[in-house]
Amino acid sequence: MTQGPIARVNTQGAVDLAALASAKHNQQQAERALANAPAGLVIDVTTATFERDVIEQSMTVPVVLDLWATWCGPCKTLSPLLEKLAVEYGGRWVLAKVDVDAEQAIAQAFQVQSIPSVFAVIKGQPIPLFQGALPESQLRKYLDELLAAAQQAGVSGQIAGGAEAAAAIAEPESDPRFEAAFDAIEAADWEGAEAAYRHVLDTDPLDQEAQAGLALVGMYRRASASDVVEPAVTDQDLLLAADHAGLAGRWSEAFELVLEVVRRSSGSERDVARARLLELFTVAGDDPAVPAARTALASALF
């Protein structure tokens, strides 16, 4: 069989702000769902574990393969949705995640041309499902059809603890203080979102989620107002490019762009860049690029 190269998704240029807002919300839901997930419900698969975790497992329950990569923007939207749904479906199917860069043999075996690509395996037989990031309603339709096909094939098992995990997230926790902010972000109402987060901070100035939300809205507002200038020359060009890079999840790049402004500026301009970098740290949270960038900031300042 002729294998073609996996098409890399271009994350440069304009930012889909509504999609980013939804992706962040989906990620939060997925993290909460996975906290209740039993072992084996959502797994990372390698070439070495494929036989056991996919082929053998598919004799009992359908296995959904999510082929993704760290550089893939749509993957950041799709994967959290699949993780959340794996828990919601109560262990009636298993989500097996494959990093196509690390596991190229698996990608080649499935003749993957673009990502995200999603397949299912039932009784060891692969079934193409779809490519690209789909909304949750369409994902559920595919999954329901998959379970019906699995039932006809005599595959109707369930992962131990799956039902309990599904029940644990059946009533999602919500904080009404943040509902107005999230609704405003989805509507691209940056003033409304900022007002909602500031309202939370007026009551609790140390609320980390509100601090991060306010900083994120600032990134959305700036990115929606201007496209990235190539090549970035002025300090403002660099800071805007950092916003776009951060919103695309390229935190190392975003931090370095702002650090460049810190290094080459002084006085109030340096103070602005330093404050901007601290905002990016707040949004990035525990991203592995943060510690090194904090050290680089200290070196640039002192």
Strand, helix or coil for residue 124: coil
| Whole-number Cα distances in Å, 98 to 71, 108, 170 | 14, 12, 28
| Whole-number Cα distances in Å, 158 to 143, 174, 175 | 15, 29, 32
The residues that bridge with 8 in the sheet, in sequence order, are none
- Choosing from 41, 42, 72, 258, which is the catalytic residue? 72
45 a catalytic residue: no
Query: Looking at residue 5, what DSSP letter applies?
Result: P
Q: Could you give the angle at the alpha carbon of 78 between the alpha carbons of 63 and 74, nearest 5°?
A: 130
144 a catalytic residue: no
- Choosing from 6, 17, 42, 75, which is the catalytic residue? 75
What is the number of other CB atoms lying within 10 angstroms of the CB of residue 79? 22
Minimal CA–CA distance to 36: which of 140, 162, 172? 162
Terminal Cα-to-Cα distance of the chain (whole angstroms): 58
**Cβ–Cβ < 8 Å for 110, 119:** yes
Which amino acid would we find at residue 247?
Answer: L
Q: Which residues are catalytic?
A: 72, 75
